[in-house]
Chains A and B, each alone.
Chain A
Amino acid sequence: MVNFAGIAEPGSTKNYKTGTWRTYRPVVDFDKCIGCAKCWEYCPEGCIIELEVDGKEVYETDLDYCKGCGICSEECPVGAIEMELEEED
C-alpha cells in the first residue's frame, strides 16, 4: 500500500476559521427574516445556519467562517441583513 503524502482528512478546512478575515459582520433582524433561505443558497462559504427563534424558522451566519463578503445582505429579499463594521472589543 502506497501512502500518498497528500492524503487529507475530509472537510478539514473547517479547522481553519476564515472568520478572522472579516471586516464587516452580517447582522440578521429575525423579525424581518422570512426564512426563505436565499442567504443560505448564495453563501460561497456555506456558513449560514438554520435556527428556530420564537417558533419561527430563521437563518443566521456562522461567524467562525463568514468572510464578510455581504452577498447575503445584498440578496436578502426583505432587507433583513445589515453589514456592520467589526470593531475591537
Chain B
Amino acid sequence: MALEEEEYFESGHRACAGCGLALGARLAMKATGEDAIATCSTGCLEVVSSPYPESSWEIPWIHSLFENSAALGSGIEAGLKAQGNDHTKVVAQGGDGGTVDIGIRSLSGMLERNHDVTYVCYDNEAYMNTGIQRSGSTPYDASTTTSPPGTESYGNENRKKDALEIAAAHGISYVASASIAFPSDLVDKVKKANEINGATYVQIHTPCPTGWGYEGKETIEIARLAVETGLWVLYGKKDGEIQNINKLNDRKPVEEYLKKQKRFKHLFKKEDGSKELEKIQNIADRNAEKFSLDK
C-alpha cells in the first residue's frame, strides 16, 4: 500500500453506495493524519458522517453552518496559535455549494488573512443533500432540479465557476485540483497543502451517482473520464506557478464523459443538442490550451 493505512474517516457512514465524496474525505483525511482538527459545513459530508450520537471522524470534527466552515477554521487556527500550538493541522471542509456560493465570503476572508488552514472543497457540482439544486459549481448544460432542460432550456445555463482561480487570486501560496480517480495524487496534494504555513485550497472532483444519474460502481470511471476529456484539469499552483499538470496522451471527446450521466442525457436527445455538445467540447479545448494539456 502506497497510502497511509490508518483510517480517520470510518466505515458505517451513511453515504450512498458508490459515493465519490465519501472516498474523497477518506483519502483527504489519510493525508491529514491524526494531529488535526476538521471543520465541515452543512451538506452531504456533514449529514452522512454525524448521525447523532455517532461520528465517522477519528479526529476532532466540528459542524459549522453552511456559510462559515472557513471562518470556523480561521478561529480554531488563531486559538491554536494563541496556545502556542504549532503542530496541529486545521482542515476546513465544505461541499461545492458551501464553498463557491454560500461560504465564499468566509473563505475569501480566511484566504485574505492567510490563516494556516487547508481548505478542502468536495465538488460534486450541485446541492446534493437538499435535492440536487444547481450551485455555482454545476457545469454548463447539466440538468438539476433547479436547472431542468425543457423546450427553451438545455439545462444549467451558466458556466462552472472557477473557484481555484478565485482562491489563487488571493495570492495564497498553494491551490490544487484533485480527483478521487487519482488517489496518490490527491493525497500528495492535500499533504503538500497541509505542510505549507498559510492558507491553501484544494478542490476535489467527487462524482455523485445519485445526483448525476449513473450506477454507483461507475464513480471512479466517471471521475477518470472528467480528467481524460479535459473537463476537470489536475494541476497545482505553487506561488503563482502552475505545476504538476497531468498531461494527456490522447484526450477523449467530451461525449464519452457526458453520455454516461443522466444529467446530460437531454443533449443526446434534443434537437440541436449537438450544438451544445460542441460548446462543451470548446470548454475542454480551452482548458487544454490554457494548461497545455495535450502531449
Give the residue of A46, A50, A69 whose beta carbon is less than 8 angstroms from that of B26.
Answer: A46
Within residues 1 to 15 of chain B, which ones have a CB less than 8 A from any CB in chain A? 1-3, 7, 9-15
The reply on A17 being an interface residue by CB < 8 A is: yes
What is the CB-to-nearest-CB distance from B237 to chain A, in angstroms, rounded to a whole number?
26
Asked whether A42 lies within 8 Å of B23 as measured between CB atoms, the reply is yes
Is B188 in contact with chain A by the CB < 8 A criterion? no
Pair A9/B54 contact, Cβ less than 8 Å: yes
Residue in contact with A18 in the complex, picked from B11, B20, B59, B63, CB distance below 8 Å: B11
Q: How many residues of B contact A (CB 8 A)?
A: 40
> B residues within 8 A CB of A22?
17
Instruction: Write the chain A residue with the least CB distance to B29.
Output: A46
Q: Is the interface of B mostly helix, strand, loop or mixed?
A: loop
- Chain A residues with Cβ under 8 A from B11's Cβ? 13-14, 18, 45-47, 62, 64-65
B10 to A14, Cβ gap below 8 A? yes
Instruction: Tell me if B276 counts as interface (CB < 8 A to partner A).
Output: no
Asked if B216 lies at the interface with its beta carbon under 8 angstroms from chain A, I say: yes
Asked whether, in the complex, the Cβ of B12 is within 8 Å of the Cβ of A44, the reply is: no
Closest Cβ neighbor of A70 among chain B residues: B217
Answer whether residue A15 sits at the interface, using C-beta atoms and an 8 A cutoff.
yes
Q: Which among B7, B18, B216 is the interface contact of A46 at CB below 8 angstroms? A: B7
CA separation between A27 and B19, bound complex, in Å? 20
Q: Assess whether B17 is in contact with A69, with CB atoms less than 8 Å apart.
A: yes
A-B contact count, CB below 8 Å? 111
Instruction: Please tell me if A8 contacts chain B, counting CB pairs below 8 Å.
Output: yes
Which of chain B's residues has its CB closest to A22's CB?
A: B17
Tell me if A14 and B15 are in contact (CB < 8 A). Answer: no
Expressed in whole angstroms, the minimum distance between the Cβ of A10 and any Cβ of chain B is 5
Give the contacting residue for B55; candidates A9, A67, A73; CB below 8 A: A9
Chain A residues with CB under 8 A of B19 = 44, 69
A70 to B218, CA, bound (A): 8
CA distance A37 to B291 in the complex (A): 32
* Pairwise interchain contact A16-B12, C-beta atoms closer than 8 A: yes
Contact residues of A between 38 and 53, Cβ < 8 Å to B: 40-47, 50
Instruction: Say whether, besides A44-B219, A74-B221, A13 and B20 are in contact (CB < 8 Å).
Output: no
CB distance from B204 to the nearest CB of A (A): 13
Whether B49 contacts A71 by the Cβ 8 Å rule is no
CB contacts (< 8 Å) of B23 on chain A: these are: 42-44
Residues of chain A contacted by B15 (CB below 8 angstroms): 44
B106 beta carbon closer than 8 Å to chain A: no
Q: Which residues of B contact A (CB under 8 A)?
A: 1-3, 7, 9-20, 22-23, 26, 49-59, 63, 180, 183, 215-221
Interface of A with B (CB < 8 Å)?
A: 6, 8-18, 21-22, 37, 40-47, 50, 62, 64-65, 67-71, 73-75, 83
